[in-house]
Chain A
Amino acid sequence: MVKFCVLCTKNRAVLKRPKTAQQVCKDCFFEVFETEVHNTIVDHALFKPGDRVAIAASGGKDSTVLAHVMKTLNDRYKYCLELFLLSVDEGIAGYRDDSLETVKRNEVQYGIPLKVVSYEELYGWSMDKIVKEIGTKNNCTFCGVFRRQALDRGAVLLKVDHIVTGHNADDIAETVLMNLLRGDIARLQRCTLIRTATDDLMPRSKPFKYTYEKEIVMYAYFKKLDYFSTECVYSPNAYRGYARAFLKDLESIRPSAIMDIIHSGEAYELKQEVQESLPKMGACERCGYMSSNKVCKACVMLEGLNQGLPQRGVGGSASSREEKAKREARRKPKLTEEDASSQKPFTFTNLQAQQ
């Protein structure tokens, strides 16, 4: 028995939308998918005409679809944005080098210029080298911290006004769950924002915040978009895996769970005394990047790696890390002349002065 699309009632339905449970045909699906992203962009006033926007692109499903949709919407609705692809090479053999080939193809397919920044260039450490040093636990912590900075640095070099990332509704719901499970109150408060706060160096937003992962994959499939689909070789031990498995089970019983979790996350408001006890955002003493501590996480980690003490800055729960940080602050060792001269010369304060 053929099911017809509930929107146009003419064509055969090919997809049941998890967001709305509607049965839609291919063309109607493309239309609602693209229009919803457009509405998200407009409702939250993410861009203004003339903005230079870097699309964080990994070659994976989300960022490839994001690049395609951004280009489509920019042309269709005349956002007048100048688009760029920005890619980070973490130095993971057999994973990142392959997915970068995909981004290079995307550059040609979508006609959007590409810039690649690498951990090796920026920090002197590739992820493969880091994992050799620290083993397979906590790698994602290093990678996440380094990648965030790497994207910002790349964006500054491109002289863009804004970064967009392909984080989708599933990702954000997972993050809410993760932060809840780990007691990470500061992140819990921020993680559902569609656009990062204004005191950030480089604003970044998530046009796919309300877009289901299943729909992104189906869009890419039906549009025959070229993307790379393998799991990072180091991810099996990531904590996020547990939140993801849980979320997927929840979704299979009640698909709206994903949107509902985001909605719950958006509604969180911290108690005043908790809010006041959170560290304030400042700038790192060493490189000038934003940090809620005197020295930013990336500098702490790099220092640890360079000194052969790679566990510095990782591990433990939020509360135990807080305690540990207080203890370390009381007996902080002085940075020697030798350490200072071995630091990479690239700093944010330098870069901002150059602009």
Chain B
Amino acid sequence: MELLFGGVKEFDVTLESDPQPRLRDLIAHIKANLLKGKPELFVQGDTVLPGILVLINDSDWELEGGIEYELQDMDNILFISTLHGG
């Protein structure tokens, strides 16, 4: 999936917003600023493409509220693609 981001695997991102930024804001930020490849291979509407797993501090984002999760300082957000051969 790093191919979509010019080969870069990790990014340090700072988001400032009032109220607290949510994961949906991070996804929008990524689409607008970090994505080098086709957006439809990463996002679908407000959220990531179904088939891309999201971990927040090594925990399933579905446990944390999905795109409504409120980002905290130093959070580690990991995107893993399942859309490839096995």
A216 at the interface (CB under 8 A from B): yes
Among A13, A15, A16, A232, contact of B85 (Cβ-Cβ < 8 Å): A232
Q: How far is the CA of A235 from the CA of B83 in the complex (A)?
A: 11
Q: How far is the CA of A60 from the CA of B84 in the complex (A)?
A: 8
Q: How far is the CA of A213 from the CA of B52 in the complex (A)?
A: 11
**Residues of chain B contacted by A15 (CB below 8 angstroms):** 59-60, 63
Q: How far is the CA of A235 from the CA of B85 in the complex (A)?
A: 9
Interface residues on A, range: 20 to 34
Q: How far is the CA of A1 from the CA of B41 in the complex (A)?
A: 32
**Residues of chain B contacted by A60 (CB below 8 angstroms):** 84-86
**Contact between B86 and A230 (Cβ–Cβ < 8 Å)?**
no
**Contact between B83 and A58 (Cβ–Cβ < 8 Å)?**
no
Q: Which among A14, A60, A229 has the greatest number of chain B C-beta atoms within 10 A?
A: A229
**Residues of chain A contacted by B1 (CB below 8 angstroms):** 229
A115 at the interface (CB under 8 A from B): no
Q: Closest Cβ of chain A: how far from B1's Cβ, in Å?
A: 8
**Residues of chain A contacted by B6 (CB below 8 angstroms):** none
Among B55, B59, B80, B83, contact of A231 (Cβ-Cβ < 8 Å): B83
Q: A218-B53, A251-B50, A252-B50 are in contact. Are A213 and B82 (CB under 8 A)?
A: yes
**Contact between A248 and B51 (Cβ–Cβ < 8 Å)?**
yes
Using CB atoms, name the residue of chain A closest to B51. Answer: A248
**Contact between A58 and B85 (Cβ–Cβ < 8 Å)?**
yes
**Contact between B63 and A248 (Cβ–Cβ < 8 Å)?**
no
B58 at the interface (CB under 8 A from A): yes
**Contact between B63 and A13 (Cβ–Cβ < 8 Å)?**
yes
B76 at the interface (CB under 8 A from A): no
Q: A248-B51, A251-B50 are in contact. Are A217 and B59 (CB under 8 A)?
A: no
Q: Which among B1, B62, B81, B85 has the greatest number of chain A C-beta atoms within 10 A?
A: B85
Q: A218-B53, A248-B51, A252-B50 are in contact. Are A23 and B80 (CB under 8 A)?
A: no
Using CB atoms, name the residue of chain A closest to B55. Answer: A221
Q: Closest Cβ of chain B: how far from A97's Cβ, in Å?
A: 14
A interface residue numbers (CB < 8 A to B): 3, 12-16, 23, 58, 60-63, 166-168, 171, 213-214, 216-218, 221, 229-232, 235, 244-245, 248-249, 251-252
5 residue pairs, one from A and one from B, having the closest CB atoms: A62-B86, A248-B50, A60-B86, A16-B62, A252-B50
